[in-house]
């Protein structure tokens, strides 16, 4: 049974999402990739999460008592609401002030005015109208141009531009736009093209690729595109990709070719949708795990497939777009994130940048959920990082009716009386994405349809109070029980959507691996879950997972939900920050040098922790009242 959703548009980015009635604005914003800050843990007390309703019926988002106590009557009248309290009851246009965003987003987003906020990309464009040479001023072409754009400099000058410059300057009457990328003069364009200055940030996941087109003059996102990593057809996980490189002479070249092709597909679509010229994309920043990054660069990952899992590099390699065959400006740059170790790669470094964990003084854990789960613990100013093989369940793969979090995916499941689902794009359901999977399993656990070992109970075994409508969805066959999510009359394909016992086992493996990783890092620092001031949850696994549900299935440790914060696709966000700021590139290199790498394949206690974490908790370990 599907409930009608409301369309929520966020300004100034213009991003739109669909949300079930009753969804708090905070969650709807997070679906749109806007992470609103909640220092009080979403208790409606601090007033930091205020947003403004700028369009919509009066009844579409009524103020709550907390809204009225945290803000003045005039503010409430003007449309201000606390995002952690106010709920969606109709279509809305919501303005999110930059001051209400999570701090890692603040710096790279913009005021509604469009004024840039602390942007310092390595790319700069300079429109110049140079005086033509004369006997009194016979400076060289390079000197003439250099003087016009100082204090920005380019040095040394590559021979390619030296060959172009004398002709292009004279043909264009010494007038045009110089393009400088990290001290390198790469082009001199006709006319004033200073506003046409773009970059692309790409999260290179083992299963999913996400590209974001960024306007480097404003920091605004101009589009987001995702694709399945086409390497998945050669194996789900990094181990199978490494094996292909080790065993087949052309394995590496083949894997590199398909991933570059997919990134180029993403760029094609971003360029098309935004209506820009691809030669105006001057930099592409890419973050992925060590294996993904090495394959992307054409670096043999074989040594990552055997003890002691040695990466080729840890610092920032130097690449041009043409080195990789990327379809942006051919003299544009490629920023590949530095790597921490064999299994803790550039995506983790990007995540640390996005979450600003490198400046963290409290005890905080960062969990990036993907096919590999990356976990970083900040404690007493030190960072330790590890990764675990979670498998692609959170991204919808290896799940019988699994799919990515795109249109048609069930992304939310609520079981009150009967089953209620939220489908991305407000369509008939086509499959189940990661957040929907977690919801479904958490609700089945809560209602006793699933036992803590992960076995779906038969109708005869379930508690007496379980709603009959849900009981009827249990399908017993071949000695085990599956769960009917959507009847064939309700789906896009006309086939039923079924959550199988096997799907639940996949989720147990994925969740258990991540939880075991968290437990080991805490043990290494002699910490308990309660010592964690915050859990920062990142991932491209779905728009939004429910914190209480993530905790219910044991994915996250038993701490109050108000300590759990979503920071979205941290890898993409970190890549975008690197695009927008040279300082972030330097801090990435520093992070890669200073974070301590823990190889869990060497930790005998990991297997024990993993086995223990495979079991679901008996009861919800949460103590506080949940929102959402």
User: Is 602 an interacting residue with respect to a copy of itself (CB under 8 A)?
Assistant: yes
Smallest gap from Cβ 592 to a copy of itself, in A, equals 10
Structure tokens at 218: 């404003």
Question: Which is closer to a copy of itself, CB of 302 or CB of 525?
Answer: 302
**Residues 579 and 41 sit within 8 Å (Cβ to Cβ):** no
Q: Please, which of residues 159-218 interact with a copy of itself by CB under 8 A? A: 159, 162-163, 165-167, 170
User: Among 56, 63, 342, 554, which residue sits at the site for a copy of itself (rule: CB under 8 A)?
Assistant: 342
User: Among 41, 44, 211, 341, which residue sits at the site for a copy of itself (rule: CB under 8 A)?
Assistant: 341
User: Is 339 an interacting residue with respect to a copy of itself (CB under 8 A)?
Assistant: yes
Question: Which is closer to a copy of itself, CB of 317 or CB of 391?
Answer: 317
User: Is 618 an interacting residue with respect to a copy of itself (CB under 8 A)?
Assistant: no
Smallest gap from Cβ 146 to a copy of itself, in A, equals 9
Indicate the DSSP class of residue 420.
E
User: Is 607 an interacting residue with respect to a copy of itself (CB under 8 A)?
Assistant: no
Query: What are the DSSP E strand ranges found in 267-314?
Result: 281-288
**Residues 367 and 538 sit within 8 Å (Cβ to Cβ):** yes
b/e for 322-343, b at 16 or more Cβ within 10 A? eebebbbbebbbbbbbbbbbbb
Smallest gap from Cβ 422 to a copy of itself, in A, equals 44
User: Is 142 an interacting residue with respect to a copy of itself (CB under 8 A)?
Assistant: yes
CA atoms of 470 and 459, how far apart (whole Å): 10
User: Is 307 an interacting residue with respect to a copy of itself (CB under 8 A)?
Assistant: yes
Stretch that binds a copy of itself, among 487-495, 501-509, 519-527, 597-605 (CB under 8 A): 597-605
Backbone Cα Rg of the chain: 26
- Residue 120 β-bridge partners: 581
Of the candidates 209, 264, 285, the one whose C-alpha atom is nearest the C-alpha of residue 574 is: 285
Q: At what angle do helices 346-355 and 290-297 cross, to 10 degrees?
A: 120
User: Among 309, 331, 566, 616, which residue sits at the site for a copy of itself (rule: CB under 8 A)?
Assistant: 309
CA torsion angle 544 548 554 555 (round to 10)? 20
Question: Which is closer to a copy of itself, CB of 69 or CB of 322?
Answer: 322
User: Is 141 an interacting residue with respect to a copy of itself (CB under 8 A)?
Assistant: yes
Smallest gap from Cβ 339 to a copy of itself, in A, equals 7
Strand, helix or coil for residue 64 = coil
CB contact set of 8 (below 8 Å; sequence gap of 6+): 16, 17, 18, 19, 25, 28, 32, 88, 91, 92, 93, 94
User: Is 321 an interacting residue with respect to a copy of itself (CB under 8 A)?
Assistant: no
User: Is 345 an interacting residue with respect to a copy of itself (CB under 8 A)?
Assistant: no
- Residue 9 β-bridge partners: 16, 93
Indicate the DSSP class of residue 256.
H
User: Among 22, 158, 191, 452, which residue sits at the site for a copy of itself (rule: CB under 8 A)?
Assistant: 158
Smallest gap from Cβ 145 to a copy of itself, in A, equals 10
Helix or strand (DSSP H, E) at 565:
strand 564-568
User: Among 119, 258, 312, 492, which residue sits at the site for a copy of itself (rule: CB under 8 A)?
Assistant: 312
Question: Which is closer to a copy of itself, CB of 299 or CB of 507?
Answer: 299
Stretch that binds a copy of itself, among 219-227, 317-325, 394-402, 457-465 (CB under 8 A): 317-325
Stretch that binds a copy of itself, among 92-100, 513-521, 542-550, 595-603 (CB under 8 A): 595-603
User: Is 155 an interacting residue with respect to a copy of itself (CB under 8 A)?
Assistant: yes
Smallest gap from Cβ 354 to a copy of itself, in A, equals 23
Smallest gap from Cβ 219 to a copy of itself, in A, equals 25
Stretch that binds a copy of itself, among 16-24, 34-42, 134-142, 274-282 (CB under 8 A): 134-142
CA atoms of 564 and 375, how far apart (whole Å): 14
Tell whether omega for the bond before 12 is within 30 degrees of 0, i.e. cis.
yes
CB contact set of 404 (below 8 Å; sequence gap of 6+): 208, 226, 228, 395, 396, 433
Smallest gap from Cβ 58 to a copy of itself, in A, equals 57
User: Among 69, 99, 140, 607, which residue sits at the site for a copy of itself (rule: CB under 8 A)?
Assistant: 140
* 126: Cα separation from own chain's centroid: 33
User: Is 605 an interacting residue with respect to a copy of itself (CB under 8 A)?
Assistant: no
Tell whether omega for the bond before 156 is within 30 degrees of 0, i.e. cis.
yes
- Counting every residue written for the chain, the total comes to 628
Smallest gap from Cβ 508 to a copy of itself, in A, equals 29
Stretch that binds a copy of itself, among 106-114, 153-161, 487-495, 501-509 (CB under 8 A): 153-161
CA atoms of 149 and 610, how far apart (whole Å): 58
Q: How many angstroms separate the Cα of 379 from the Cα of each of 213, 304, 352, 518?
A: 35, 28, 14, 13
End-to-end Cα, the chain, rounded Å: 19
CB atoms under 10 Å from CB of 385, counted, come to 27
Question: Which is closer to a copy of itself, CB of 321 or CB of 509?
Answer: 321
Stretch that binds a copy of itself, among 156-164, 407-415, 450-458, 467-475 (CB under 8 A): 156-164
Stretch that binds a copy of itself, among 60-68, 152-160, 397-405, 490-498 (CB under 8 A): 152-160
Question: Which is closer to a copy of itself, CB of 162 or CB of 420?
Answer: 162
**Residues 542 and 411 sit within 8 Å (Cβ to Cβ):** yes
Smallest gap from Cβ 321 to a copy of itself, in A, equals 11
Q: Please, which of residues 266-305 interact with a copy of itself by CB under 8 A? A: 297-300, 302-303
Tokens 């952690």 locate to 84
Of the candidates 393, 365, 370, 376, the one whose C-alpha atom is nearest the C-alpha of residue 341 is: 376
**Residues 234 and 318 sit within 8 Å (Cβ to Cβ):** no
Indicate the DSSP class of residue 164.
H
Smallest gap from Cβ 193 to a copy of itself, in A, equals 23
User: Is 489 an interacting residue with respect to a copy of itself (CB under 8 A)?
Assistant: no
CA atoms of 314 and 343, how far apart (whole Å): 12
User: Is 234 an interacting residue with respect to a copy of itself (CB under 8 A)?
Assistant: no
CA atoms of 457 and 131, how far apart (whole Å): 83
Question: Which is closer to a copy of itself, CB of 149 or CB of 157?
Answer: 157
How many binding residues for a copy of itself (CB under 8 A)?
48
User: Is 45 an interacting residue with respect to a copy of itself (CB under 8 A)?
Assistant: no
Question: Which is closer to a copy of itself, CB of 284 or CB of 470?
Answer: 284
Chain positions contacting a copy of itself, by CB under 8 A: 133-135, 137-143, 155-159, 162-163, 165-167, 170, 297-300, 302-303, 307-319, 323-324, 339, 341-342, 597, 599, 602
């Amino acid at each position: 049974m599907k409930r009608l959703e409301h369309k929520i548009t966020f300004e100034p980015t213009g991003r739109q999402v669909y949300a079930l009635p009753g969804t708090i604005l905070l969650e709807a914003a997070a679906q749109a990739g806007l992470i609103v800050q909640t220092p009080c843990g979403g208790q409606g007390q601090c007033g930091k999460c205020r947003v403004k309703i700028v369009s919509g019926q009066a009844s579409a988002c009524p103020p709550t008592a907390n809204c009225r106590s945290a803000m003045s009557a005039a503010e409430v009248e003007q449309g201000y609401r606390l995002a952690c309290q106010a709920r969606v009851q109709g279509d809305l246009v919501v303005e999110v002030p930059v001051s209400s965003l999570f701090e890692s987003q603040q710096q790279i987003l913009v005021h509604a005015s469009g004024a840039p906020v602390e942007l310092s990309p390595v790319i700069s464009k300079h429109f110049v109208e140079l005086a033509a040479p004369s006997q009194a001023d016979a400076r060289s072409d390079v000197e003439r141009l250099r003087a016009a754009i100082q204090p920005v400099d380019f040095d040394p000058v590559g021979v390619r531009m030296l060959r172009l410059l004398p002709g292009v300057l004279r043909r264009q009457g010494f007038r045009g736009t110089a393009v400088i990328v990290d001290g390198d003069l790469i082009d001199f364009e006709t006319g004033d093209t200073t506003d046409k200055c773009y970059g692309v940030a790409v999260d290179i996941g083992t299963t999913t690729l996400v590209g974001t087109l960024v306007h480097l003059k404003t920091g605004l996102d101009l589009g987001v595109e995702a694709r399945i990593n086409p390497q998945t057809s050669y194996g789900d996980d990094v181990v199978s990709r490494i094996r292909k490189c080790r065993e087949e002479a052309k394995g590496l070249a083949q894997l590199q070719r398909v991933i570059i092709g997919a990134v180029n597909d993403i760029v094609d679509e971003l360029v098309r949708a935004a209506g820009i010229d691809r030669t105006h994309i001057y930099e592409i920043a890419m973050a992925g795990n060590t294996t993904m990054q090495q394959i992307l660069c054409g670096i043999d990952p074989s040594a990552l497939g055997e003890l002691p899992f040695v990466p080729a590099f840890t610092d920032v390699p130097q690449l041009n777009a043409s080195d990789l065959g990327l379809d942006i400006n051919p003299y544009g740059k490629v920023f590949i994130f530095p790597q921490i170790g064999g299994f803790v790669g550039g995506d983790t470094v990007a995540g640390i940048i996005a979450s600003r964990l490198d400046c963290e003084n409290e005890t905080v854990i960062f969990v990036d959920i993907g096919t590999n789960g990356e976990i970083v613990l900040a404690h007493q100013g030190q960072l330790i990082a590890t990764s675990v093989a979670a498998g692609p369940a959170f991204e919808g793969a290896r799940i019988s009716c699994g799919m990515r979090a795109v249109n048609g995916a069930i992304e939310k499941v609520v079981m009150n009386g009967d089953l209620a689902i939220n489908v991305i794009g407000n369509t008939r359901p086509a499959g189940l994405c990661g957040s929907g999977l977690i919801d479904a399993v958490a609700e089945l656990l809560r209602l006793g349809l699933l036992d803590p070992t992960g076995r779906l109970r038969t109708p005869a075994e379930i508690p007496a109070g379980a709603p009959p409508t849900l009981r009827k969805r249990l399908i017993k066959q071949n000695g085990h029980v599956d769960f009917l999510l959507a009847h064939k009359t309700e789906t896009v394909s006309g086939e039923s959507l079924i959550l199988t016992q096997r799907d639940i086992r996949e989720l147990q493996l994925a969740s258990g691996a991540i939880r075991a990783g968290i437990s080991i890092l805490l043990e290494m620092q002699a910490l308990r879950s309660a010592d964690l001031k915050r859990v920062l949850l990142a991932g491209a696994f779905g728009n939004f997972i429910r914190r209480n549900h993530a905790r219910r299935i044991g994915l996250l440790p038993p701490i109050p939900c108000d300590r759990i914060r979503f920071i979205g696709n941290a890898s993409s966000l970190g890549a975008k920050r690197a695009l927008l700021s040279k300082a972030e590139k330097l801090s990435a290199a520093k992070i890669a040098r200073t974070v301590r790498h823990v190889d869990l394949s060497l930790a005998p206690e990991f297997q024990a922790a993993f086995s223990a974490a495979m079991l679901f908790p008996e009861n919800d370990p949460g103590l506080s009242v949940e929102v959402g």
